[in-house]
Amino acid sequence: MTQLEAARAGTVTPEMQFVAKREDLSPELIRSEVARGRMVIPANTVHLSKKLEPMCIGVASSCKINANIGNSAVTGKVDDELEKLHTAVHLGSDTVMDLSTGGNIDGIRQAMIDASTVPIGTVPIYQIIQNVKDPRDITPKMMLDTVEHQAKQGVDYMTIHAGVLLEHVPLTRDRVTGIVSRGGSLMAAWMVAHHQQNPWYTHFGELCEIMRAYDVTFSLGDGLRPGSLADANDAGQFAELKTLGELTLKAWEHGCQVMIEGPGHIPMHLVKMNIEKERELCHDAPFYVLGPLVTDIAPGYDHITSAIGAALAAEAGAAMLCYVTPKEHLGLPNKDDVRQGVIAYKIAAHAGDIARGRKNARVRDDQLSKARFEFDWNRQFELSLDPETARRMHDETLPQDVFKSAKFCSMCGPKFCSMRITQDVRKLADDAARISSNLTPLSLAK
Amino acid sequence: MTQLEAARAGTVTPEMQFVAKREDLSPELIRSEVARGRMVIPANTVHLSKKLEPMCIGVASSCKINANIGNSAVTGKVDDELEKLHTAVHLGSDTVMDLSTGGNIDGIRQAMIDASTVPIGTVPIYQIIQNVKDPRDITPKMMLDTVEHQAKQGVDYMTIHAGVLLEHVPLTRDRVTGIVSRGGSLMAAWMVAHHQQNPWYTHFGELCEIMRAYDVTFSLGDGLRPGSLADANDAGQFAELKTLGELTLKAWEHGCQVMIEGPGHIPMHLVKMNIEKERELCHDAPFYVLGPLVTDIAPGYDHITSAIGAALAAEAGAAMLCYVTPKEHLGLPNKDDVRQGVIAYKIAAHAGDIARGRKNARVRDDQLSKARFEFDWNRQFELSLDPETARRMHDETLPQDVFKSAKFCSMCGPKFCSMRITQDVRKLADDAARISSNLTPLSLAK
């Protein structure tokens, strides 16, 4: 039984129990959200028997983030990828996708699954394409076999671009950046070469049975997501989203868990609308968005352009945010890029949780602010998203231990610290209250 | 005559002409916005006679950003500050504030004004405090004299914490982080020590006359801005904002230009409300916000926590965004921190401009996206906010010149580039249209 089938049958699985504890929510709420399809617990039964610690993705729980790692044909080795995995999970990534596209692709995946406590996602088409000379040589059988192979390895969720249909491709004709999803572009090329519909779509029932057997969660890919602000919210994007809604119902019939992937590049004022549209067309299946980037002009800083959009998406109800690193559009991320991406997205997800008023979301903020006001520098570092970096920056100008309890920092210097000046703010406030009540009211001098 | 007085008299000054050209707006629109107080042109007549290139701040024009530089008593020399000034302006900062609080404070300021093509702002209380042993030794005369001294040097706008009144201080009693504005905390301490009202407030008329004589723009400081999410939107903050509204009207009577400073730390869902409240209480005077940070848990990354809030503020109508660097709360920013802060804020301001539908705001995005789709790497770098960084990141894995026209990057590798796969997207789209019209409609297989 998949988590979805168990939930429907009224069973609270050990994984739901575990997740409920992590989220500080009731097991029954978790069960009912999973049963309704509004929450997923991506937990391949094979990975569950190894190190996986179950987690959930859904709007009723805290907003999650994913880090994409993996090599490309140009660069990358197993150890490098395991180091990136460790960095991502250490800094708080809730899931990790292995997007390897070259070299020892099977070995990297297995090593990651074996090592990972968080769910691992993949995009099977990236492996399928490895085994053919030309995309047109791909067969439906290869596709299904590869999914089964990866499911057996223990992959927890898979991106499947089943919503790109032949009739959607003409809608991309006048785009500025065409089709930017690798999976989407491959399926488009395949369909045109074969004069046939997308095999993920035509073979969706068989696919569901494989996914169901291991409880692999569908991450229905947005093969026609916009690759620039100019292409945001166009007919192609929304035609595919509607198809993803149909596929969601179909997968649910098969007892499979489903989330929906979203863009990409969207100007700020259209982010919320995208989230609402997904909810409507895809029947509340959890929305898993990539960014979105809110401007196209900052290559080298797209962790920031996209963290803005991601925070808006989180506030509007996205369930998981796929990070973007500073290297996006420029090259394969290294370990430090992974760090930058993960922290930017922890910020976005947390800011969204606060804005949505999630239970206890602000507790850590308040604790850190209190430590800040009390000049407890070490506690401030401990409570911060990246203690190592916070400490290093403080050390740059005031490395000595004594300054970790000093009542100032190098930003303002000892004489100018507002917190020092008003540290006894209660006394100051009480004095001011006493004095101002005796003061003759002043009218503003001309 | 100040720009405001000229505008009221129906005169389009050369500065308004210049600004109109920069903004691609009509000179008459600029004049009417300045006359109405909804736009300022911070241009001290002394600085105008040197290198200043006039710019405007107001909701009818593009959103601006400010970079804070300046030394502290702990660290910083003239040359370092001039280098930071150069970095900030080179990367697109629209104004720069010299917040020096130690050492050769007069010399740094003069050097910055002489070198700067953008308006320079200061916080005069930072110099006033240099000349006394204890804040209580400050006299109203010292305050006015220092303002006049800095006005004569050519400072274009000054932060004046005139809105912190004695009766507001009790409202900060139960705050988590008390009073975090340095100017605000000094005025609070002074008032309590002297049993008197804020001298900036009681001597506001005299102050206006000095400001008017050089056309120094008021930047009415928010001395009670929240220093944590816990303190956001509290009674103290809004009591002061109301007073700033009164002072705005008074300054306008004197012919002075005014903008209003805003916080600080605000959760995402309250940002827009803050902008609306300022507009209402301060009669549409341009709003100049610091961040705001949307979470407190990321010291070391507060350029990102605050860029999210700044983008929201820009979308909601803030006229200028004061940057926050990664070093905020940890130490004095160095040159690289200035770079990180400026770029994060260029992103926020630009994203806000796009979301507000400002004329031509998206042109550069579309040009860059087009270059991206065409694999014109050099053009992509040129169009990006930080060409040097974008190129460096691309060079990390593919340094050779030949790769600057290669139809892929190291992120996906040659086989996997979606843009290469679909580069002839028009042909692909046309083929798909032809084929799909002949295809028997498929219903989704069970």
pLDDT tens, position by position, A55-95 = 999 999 999 999 999 886 656 688 889 999 999 999 999 99
Chosen from A181, A222, A301, A423 to mutate, greatest number of chain B CBs within 10 A: A301
From chain B, pick out residues whose CB is under 8 angstroms from the CB of A390.
299-300, 330
Q: According to the model, what pLDDT value does residue B445 have?
A: 47
- What is the SS3 assignment for chain B? CCHHHHHHCCCCCHHHHHHHHHHCCCHHHHHHHHHHCCEECCCCHHHHCCCCCCCCEECCCCCEEEEEECCECCECCHHHHHHHHHHHHHCCCCEEEECCCCCCHHHHHHHHHHHCCCCEEECCHHHHHHHCCCHHHCCHHHHHHHHHHHHHHCCCEEEECCCCCHHHHHHHCCCCCCCCCHHHHHHHHHHHHHCCCCHHHHCHHHHHHHHHHHCCEEEECCCCCCCCHHHCCCHHHHHHHHHHHHHHHHHHHCCCCEEEEECCECCHHHHHHHHHHHHHHCCCCCEEEECCECCCCCCCCHHHHHHHHHHHHHHHCCCEEECCCCCCCCCCCCHHHHHHHHHHHHHHHHHHHHHCCCCCCCHHHHHHHHHHHCCCHHHHHHHCCCHHHHHHHHHHHCCCHHHHHCCCCCCCCHHHCHHHHCCCHHHHHHHHHHHHHHCCCCCCCC
- In the structure, what pLDDT confidence band is assigned to residue B446 with cuts at 50, 70 and 90? very low
A71 is in an annotated binding site: no
Whether residue A432 and residue B350 make contact (CB cut-off 8 A), yes or no, is: no
At residue B178, the pLDDT reads 92
Per-residue pLDDT at A445: 47
Q: In this complex, do B74 and A396 lie within 8 Å of one another by their Cβ atoms?
A: no
What's the pLDDT score for residue B338? 97
pLDDT in tens, B254-310: 999 999 999 999 999 999 999 999 999 999 999 999 999 999 999 999 999 999 999
Q: Is B265 in contact with B226 (CB distance < 8 Å)?
A: yes
Cβ contact B444–A179 (<8 Å): no
Interface contact A202-B445, CB threshold 8 A: yes
Mean pLDDT of B307-326: 98
Q: Say what the pLDDT of residue A96 is.
A: 98
User: Which residue positions in chain A have pLDDT lower than 70?
Assistant: 72-76, 409, 411-412, 414-416, 422-423, 439-446
Q: Which residue of B has its CA nearest to A125?
A: B416
Nearest-CA distance A377 → chain B (Å)? 9
Residue B261 marked ligand-binding: yes
Does residue B406 carry a pLDDT above 80?
no
Task: Give me chain B's average pLDDT, please.
Answer: 93
Residues of B in contact with A412 (CB under 8 A): 72, 101, 182
B442 pLDDT band (50/70/90 cuts)? low
Rounded to whole angstroms, the Cα distance separating A155 from A142 reads: 17
Question: Interface pTM (ipTM) of the complex?
Answer: 0.95
**Torsions phi, psi for A194 (to 5 deg):** -100, -5
Beta carbons of A421 and B189 less than 8 Å apart? yes
- What is the pLDDT, as a whole number, of residue B393? 94
Token pair, residue A158, equals 């898979």
- Which of B293, B354, B291 is CA-nearest to residue B321? B291
Give CA torsion, residues A411, A414, A417, A419, to 10 deg: 120
Choose among A250, A365, A416: nearest Cβ to B295. Answer: A365
| pLDDT given for residue A442 in this prediction | 57
* Chain A neighbors of B368, CB-CB under 8 A: 296-297, 299
pLDDT in tens, B69-88: 988 665 668 888 999 999 99
Question: What six digits make up the tokens of B371?
Answer: 């270059």
Task: Establish whether A360 is an annotated binding residue.
Answer: no
- Predicted TM-score (pTM) of the model is 0.95
Is the model's pLDDT at B405 over the cut of 80? no
Tens of pLDDT, residue by residue over B34-56, are: 999 999 999 999 999 999 999 99
For residue A224, say whether it is annotated as part of any ligand binding site.
yes
Q: Which of B228, B327, B365 sits opposite A393 (nearest CB)?
A: B327
B323 annotated as ligand-binding: no
Give the homologous superfamily in CATH for domain B3-356.
Radical SAM ThiC family, central domain (3.20.20.540)
Residue of A nearest to B366 (CA): A230
Closest CA to B296 of A316, A100, A379: A379
Residue spans per domain, chain B? 3-356, 361-437
Which of A268, A338, A402 is the mutation pick for testing B, counting most B CBs within 10 A? A268
**Among B406, B404, B348, B412, CA closest to B381:** B404
pLDDT given at position A428 = 86
Q: Which residues in chain B have Cβ-Cβ distances shorter than 8 Å to A381?
A: 299
Q: Do B411 and A72 touch (CB under 8 A)?
A: yes
Q: What is the pLDDT of residue B73?
A: 62
| pLDDT at residue A441 in the model | 57
Q: Above 80 in pLDDT, residue B224?
A: yes
CB contact under 8 A, A390 and B300: yes
- Indicate yes or no: CB of B421 within 8 angstroms of CB of A186: yes
